[in-house]
Amino acid sequence: MNFKISKNISDFRKTHTLAIDKAALENSINDLYNVLFPICLNVKKTNCDDALKIIYDILLINLKSLEAVENPSKKVNYFFDQLPKLQEILYEDAKTFYNNDPSAYSIEEVILSYPGFYALVVHRLANTLYKMGIPIIPRLWSEYAHTKAGIDINPGATIGKRFFLDHGTGIVIGETCVIGDDVKIYQNVTLGALHVTKNMQSKKRHPTIENNVILYSGATILGGETNIGHDSTIGGNVWLTKSVEPFSLIYYTSQLKYKTVKNGTEPINFVI
């Protein structure tokens, strides 16, 4: 087999010396997950210590390959200093999942099996690196969680405490989105930009969701100036591009017709 690297890729390699170990960084996420929740995952303290050392080395090696990162050792140490606080926040998140989902029979079940919780754990870790100004790695982590959970949370999104993602599938949360405390989001919700151009990169493009808001399945909320007031409920399939006051109830209405079908009547607009 005669395979030649294309000229574009060859030129790209000459001008870009980045050497990120994608597989190792993805594995480090799962190792961090196990370390953060060692009780139900049956990870002994010695194993935690070994895992943390491996994760530390992986992060340090990869940060050193990023020329834009100054003093990588200091940044890795800072990240690890944040883990105890993140662990407490995430345990509160796990309890929130358990308290809000009648089909959850234990907090352990949430931690071990809920894709929404997994995506949230990865997001809080990635967001910590993002706020430190670390490039590439936060997005790599968040997109890895996206492939695992079907939930797309940009690492730049700000998410408050006791966040609840029910089912989670199809949820999209943009980079400049700000979400308050005690917010509940159901499947297929989009918190996105109203329109996008490259020169908007430094601007707020995604909505703000205040405390105690519920967003039901299929709701789409767009725009950096769109603000959902606290204690509001946004119903399923609602499309919003403007702000709503606190304590609002916004819902979509459609006209449905009901009738009894007998004798094998053909379906309306039946097409193969």
CATH code at position 168: 2.160.10.10
pLDDT at position 271, please?
44
Residue 267 in any domain: the answer is no
Q: How far apart are CA 59 and CA 83, in angstroms?
A: 14
Among 115, 150, 185, which residue terminates a domain?
Answer: 150
Do residues 96 and 168 both lie within one domain?
Answer: no
Q: Give the containing element (helix H, strand E) for 98.
A: helix 72-100
pLDDT at position 272, please?
45
Q: Give the containing element (helix H, strand E) for 139.
A: helix 137-149
pTM confidence score: 0.87
Inform me whether the pLDDT recorded for 149 exceeds 50.
yes
Q: What is the mean pLDDT of residues 185-211?
A: 92
Check residues 212 and 255 and name the one with the higher pLDDT: 212
* pLDDT level of residue 249 (50, 70, 90 thresholds): very high
Q: Give the containing element (helix H, strand E) for 227.
A: strand 227-228
Q: What is the mean pLDDT of residues 242-270?
A: 76
User: At 271, which amino acid appears?
Assistant: V
Secondary structure (DSSP) of 145-192: HHHHHS-EE-TT-EE-SS-EESS-TT-EE-TT-EE-SS-EE-TT-EEE
Cβ contacts of 122 within 8 Å, gap of 6 or more: 29, 33, 141, 142, 144, 145
Residue 268 in any domain: the answer is no
Q: How far apart are CA 239 and CA 147, in angstroms?
A: 26
pLDDT at position 95, please?
98
Inform me whether the pLDDT recorded for 139 exceeds 90.
yes
Do residues 221 and 110 both lie within one domain?
Answer: no
* pLDDT level of residue 198 (50, 70, 90 thresholds): confident
Return the structure tokens found at 68. 């834009």
Residue 109 in any domain: the answer is yes
Do residues 135 and 216 both lie within one domain?
Answer: no
Cβ contacts of 7 within 8 Å, gap of 6 or more: none
pLDDT at position 199, please?
82
Residue 106 in any domain: the answer is yes
Cβ contacts of 83 within 8 Å, gap of 6 or more: 35, 36
Do residues 145 and 174 both lie within one domain?
Answer: no
Q: What is the mean pLDDT of residues 104-127?
A: 96
Burial of 159 (0-12, 13-18, 19+ CB in 10 A): buried
Among 112, 129, 150, which residue terminates a domain?
Answer: 150
% of the chain exceeding 70 in pLDDT: 87
CATH number at residue 132: 1.10.3130.10
Residue 110 in any domain: the answer is yes
Cβ contacts of 149 within 8 Å, gap of 6 or more: 115, 116, 118, 119, 168
Q: How far apart are CA 21 and CA 43, in angstroms?
A: 25
Residue 127 sits at φ, ψ, to 5 deg, of -65, -35
Least reliable range by pLDDT among 14-18, 30-34, 108-112: 14-18
State how many domains the chain has. Answer: 2
Residue 10 in any domain: the answer is no
Do residues 25 and 136 both lie within one domain?
Answer: yes
Among 134, 150, 166, which residue terminates a domain?
Answer: 150
CA–CA distances in Å: residue 242 to residues 34, 126, 206, 245, 251: 41, 29, 12, 10, 14
Which domain, by its residues, includes 167? 157-250
DSSP 3-state of 267: coil
pLDDT at position 259, please?
72
Do residues 208 and 246 both lie within one domain?
Answer: yes
Do residues 120 and 162 both lie within one domain?
Answer: no
Mean pLDDT of the chain: 89
Do residues 26 and 144 both lie within one domain?
Answer: yes
* pLDDT level of residue 197 (50, 70, 90 thresholds): confident
Q: How far apart are CA 232 and CA 135, in angstroms?
A: 35
Do residues 178 and 194 both lie within one domain?
Answer: yes
Return the structure tokens found at 34. 């196990």
Residue 143 in any domain: the answer is yes
Do residues 196 and 229 both lie within one domain?
Answer: yes
Residue 12 in any domain: the answer is no
Do residues 166 and 142 both lie within one domain?
Answer: no
Do residues 44 and 142 both lie within one domain?
Answer: yes
CA 178 to chain centre: 12
pLDDT at position 270, please?
43
Residues 112-143, buried b or exposed e (16+ Cβ, 10 A)? eebbbbbbbbbbbbbbbbbebebebbbbbbbb
User: At 236, which amino acid appears?
Assistant: G
Inform me whether the pLDDT recorded for 1 exceeds 70.
no
Q: What is the mean pLDDT of residues 240-268?
A: 80
